Chains A and B, each alone.
Chain A
Amino acid sequence: MLAGQLADGRWALAGMWGEAEAVNLALLDSDSGGVADRSELAIATLPCPQGQFPSIALHHAPAHRLERAINDLFGLEPVGAPDDRLWLDHGRWGVHYPLGACTKSTEALQPYVFLGAEGEGLHQIPVGPVHAGIIEPGHFRFTANGETVVRLEERLGYTHKGIDSLMAGAPIDRAAQLAARVSGDSTVAYSIAFARAIEAALGVEIPDRAHWLRALMAELERIANHLGDIGAVCNDAAFALMHAHTSVLRERVLRTSNDCFGHRLMMDKAIPGGVNVDLDARGMEKIRSLLAVIREEFPRLIDLYDETASLQDRTVGTGFLAPALARQYACGGYIGRASGRSFDARRDFAYPPYDSLRFEVPLFKEGDVNARMWVRIREVEQSLGLIDQILTGIPSGAISVAVQPAGRICEGVSLVEGFRGDILCWLRLDPDGTIARCHLRDPSWFQWPLIEAAIEGNIVADFPLCNKSFNCSYSGHDI
């Protein structure tokens, strides 16, 4: 029944993860109609006493890789699954089902079988896992007809670090450190997601000022990433000048972050119970002057993007993601919002302080590289406005409260908007406060599969541009 409701779009799948004898699903009420605080998140559990569960992917394709990952890690079998190949497990761990039975694996390495594509004039191009630039590792298998991509198949999992297993049994502060390192570019958003899940589990209310400082850091992180990627996309379209300018602005954001919070990426600054660094008047002044610099420079860069015909030539119409696919995959972030899916956890779940701040969620429908660029351009502007409001309205007072174990088993869940999209954190705590199970779901899980669709019919040479315009996280996906 659940699978049916997913298939007909009543619910969107927001996450799926295993436990020793169960599989959990996070379900998102799929359309808030753009009204604040109207979305709902529900967790459903499928018990698997026989080590099996009915495949959701059979009816709802976005569950594919999640089920394969659950099988790899827990040995829980999705019955009827259309694809039974391993995903995160490349046969190199020395064990099977590390979070389940954890048996020693002794068999020789099996080659990975890519899906076939046969036809006259087709050829395959394997790329990776090590790429030419400074990028994360992953493998791409192109089937091309001359220049044109007929099929792309991704193979991921190279950066799998076993974070879920390191989390199990860890004290809260150690787990927070791991959460901050699931995907370094989103370290603030991950820390907030983890902290909010802990606070939900333990019923902890943190001081208002802590909420506002978290949001300040989250918006700085968003601006830094958007600036970096806007330039990088232009760079991949052979327009290096933009990259030089945005990377200067990005560097200024990182330096200001370092001056104010003591770390360029603000890693480990949002912690369960609040934040561990306060902002003084001097810091606020620095952020104000940063905003002034960005406000002076950024509009001219937007004009530059808008007026450079050779750039538009590359980005308009390239890498089209159909709105129906974005909706089906509950694809978050700028990718979804460039293909007409209006979802932003800051608005739709209105967690503090966003419930008292004014902002818009930019929405485009064209679904191409250009639309993804425009969403990010508009989001930079929105974040600047949010930071203004934060600096004006930030309440005074304490920045953290102590976090005490509950003395019983408790669970918490959170959904937090990182620059790339919504990050889900679900966890269960033991009575002594250690982590029994914690799962962090990166937005990339529902974005990676869509590049395969978006690149079809494009030329192979446009892949870097397309890929950069998605900018999915390898590490966040591979966990």
Chain B
Amino acid sequence: MRKLLFESLIKPVLTEPRPDPDQAMLAELAAALGQSARQKLGRSLSIREIDAGSCNGCELEIHALNNPFYDIERFGLRFVASPRHADVLLVTGPVTKNMREALERTYNATPAPKWVVAAGDCAADGGCFAGSYAVAGGVSAVIPVDLHIPGCPPPPEALIRGLMALVENARHGADLTARP
């Protein structure tokens, strides 16, 4: 074990260079966040993940955000256990009718100001499960959504770009709306 620990000190770091926030997502975001975001946050952003009915593919990629390649804590992004500590709800899946109330409750338990990020094609509009008797639709059919991250599932890079856009925007507030 000592050898492993030692090696992790001398081996080159695995982390990828930090990606630029995605401009298209920024545009969507900026409109939603507006002025109120300006004062809200320091550097750190707390995220509460909610699976509202996903196939679990999206969860695998959200998990990957914590592996040493991406290590999103260094961007000031942290997963928290309680909605009461969260700034952001990261929601996956088509919202099933059996999860609808739990999602609403979690949303209501999250203190304002809060943002909702819908991750994955299912979270956008129900994806390939849309139209089922058991599916309420995408996340925005149940709670207001500030940002959509497309993909099935969205790879870690896409998730980071989306979440980074959220952080940058929350930090600079309206400044970013003026960016090209």
Q: A196 → chain B, closest Cβ, in Å?
A: 20
Known A162-B134, A181-B129, A187-B55; further 13 A-B contacts with Cβ < 8 A? A92-B100, A95-B133, A130-B50, A159-B53, A159-B98, A160-B98, A161-B96, A162-B133, A177-B128, A184-B55, A185-B57, A304-B4, A475-B56
Q: Mark A17-61, 1 if CB is under 8 A from B, else 0.
A: 000000000000000000000000000000000000000000000
User: Which chain B residues lie closer than 8 Å to A228 at the CB level?
Assistant: 60, 63
A181-B57 contact in complex given A132-B82, A251-B69, C-beta closer than 8 Å? yes
A457 within 8 A of B: no
A161 to B57, Cβ gap below 8 A?
no
User: Which chain A residues lie closer than 8 Å to B50 at the CB level?
Assistant: 130
User: Which chain B residues lie closer than 8 Å to A137 at the CB level?
Assistant: 51-53, 99, 102
7 contacts between A and B (CB under 8 A): A95-B133, A133-B49, A157-B98, A181-B55, A183-B55, A185-B60, A247-B63
A166 to B129, Cβ gap below 8 A?
yes
B152 within 8 A of A: yes
Partner of B135, one of A135, A161, A181: A161
A250 within 8 A of B: yes
B57 to A187, Cβ gap below 8 A?
yes
A265-B134 contact in complex given A185-B60, A304-B4, C-beta closer than 8 Å? no
B131 within 8 A of A: yes
User: Which chain B residues lie closer than 8 Å to A74 at the CB level?
Assistant: none
A134-B59 contact in complex given A177-B128, A300-B4, C-beta closer than 8 Å? yes
Roughly how many angstroms separate A241 CA and B82 CA in the complex, as a whole number?
Answer: 24
Q: B152 → chain A, closest Cβ, in Å?
A: 7
B138 within 8 A of A: no
Within 8 A of B (CB), among A153-204: 157-163, 165-166, 174, 177-178, 181-185, 187
Partner of A184, one of B60, B82, B99, B155: B60
Q: B172 → chain A, closest Cβ, in Å?
A: 28
A94 within 8 A of B: yes
Residue on B with the closest CB to A301?
A: B4
Among all A-B residue pairs, the 6 with the closest Cβ atoms: A184-B57, A162-B132, A162-B134, A132-B81, A247-B67, A184-B55
Partner of B49, one of A90, A134, A159: A134
Roughly how many angstroms separate A300 CA and B152 CA in the complex, as a whole number?
Answer: 34
B59 to A98, Cβ gap below 8 A?
no
Q: B178 → chain A, closest Cβ, in Å?
A: 35
A94-B56 contact in complex given A137-B51, A244-B68, A267-B152, C-beta closer than 8 Å? no
B24 within 8 A of A: no
Roughly how many angstroms separate A184 CA and B56 CA in the complex, as a whole number?
Answer: 5
Q: A296 → chain B, closest Cβ, in Å?
A: 11
Q: Mark A353-372, 1 if CB is under 8 A from B, else 0.
A: 00000000000000000000
A181 to B128, Cβ gap below 8 A?
yes
A206 within 8 A of B: no
A205 within 8 A of B: no
A129 within 8 A of B: yes
A interface with B by C-beta (< 8 Å): 90, 92-95, 98, 102, 129-130, 132-137, 157-163, 165-166, 174, 177-178, 181-185, 187, 228, 241, 244-245, 247-248, 250-251, 254, 258, 264-265, 267, 300, 304, 307-308, 473-475
User: Which chain A residues lie closer than 8 Å to B99 at the CB level?
Assistant: 129, 137, 158-159
Residue on B with the closest CB to A235?
A: B66
User: Which chain A residues lie closer than 8 Å to B5 at the CB level?
Assistant: 241
Q: A4 → chain B, closest Cβ, in Å?
A: 35
User: Which chain A residues lie closer than 8 Å to B67 at the CB level?
Assistant: 244, 247-248, 250-251
User: Which chain B residues lie closer than 8 Å to A133 at the CB level?
Assistant: 49, 79, 81
A130 to B54, Cβ gap below 8 A?
no
B108 within 8 A of A: no
A185-B4 contact in complex given A90-B98, A161-B134, C-beta closer than 8 Å? no
Select the residue from A98, A165, A166, A250 with max chain B CB neighbours within 10 A.
A166
B14 within 8 A of A: yes
B36 within 8 A of A: no
Q: A70 → chain B, closest Cβ, in Å?
A: 16
Partner of B63, one of A134, A160, A161: A134
User: Which chain B residues lie closer than 8 Å to A130 at the CB level?
Assistant: 50, 102, 106
A245-B4 contact in complex given A133-B81, A159-B93, C-beta closer than 8 Å? yes
Roughly how many angstroms separate A129 CA and B99 CA in the complex, as a whole number?
Answer: 8
A248 to B56, Cβ gap below 8 A?
no
Roughly how many angstroms separate A166 CA and B127 CA in the complex, as a whole number?
Answer: 12
A162 to B129, Cβ gap below 8 A?
yes
User: Which chain A residues lie closer than 8 Å to B128 at the CB level?
Assistant: 166, 174, 177-178, 181
B97 within 8 A of A: yes
User: Which chain A residues lie closer than 8 Å to B162 at the CB level?
Assistant: none
Select the residue from B56, B57, B155 with max chain A CB neighbours within 10 A.
B56
Residue on A with the closest CB to B120?
A: A184
Residue on A with the closest CB to B80?
A: A132
B56 to A161, Cβ gap below 8 A?
no
A136 to B59, Cβ gap below 8 A?
yes
B45 within 8 A of A: no
Roughly how many angstroms separate A210 CA and B100 CA in the complex, as a whole number?
Answer: 41
Residue on B with the closest CB to A182?
A: B55
Residue on A with the closest CB to B122?
A: A181
B56 to A185, Cβ gap below 8 A?
yes
Roughly how many angstroms separate A159 CA and B98 CA in the complex, as a whole number?
Answer: 7
Roughly how many angstroms separate A474 CA and B60 CA in the complex, as a whole number?
Answer: 14
B64 within 8 A of A: yes
User: Which chain A residues lie closer than 8 Å to B134 at the CB level?
Assistant: 93, 98, 160-162, 165
A93 to B60, Cβ gap below 8 A?
no
Residue on B with the closest CB to A248?
A: B68
Roughly how many angstroms separate A183 CA and B101 CA in the complex, as a whole number?
Answer: 23
B59 to A94, Cβ gap below 8 A?
no
Q: B90 → chain A, closest Cβ, in Å?
A: 9
Q: B86 → chain A, closest Cβ, in Å?
A: 12
Residue on B with the closest CB to A308?
A: B1
User: Which chain B residues lie closer than 8 Å to A254 at the CB level?
Assistant: 64
Q: Mark B58-85, 1 if CB is under 8 A from A, else 0.
A: 1111111011110000000001011000
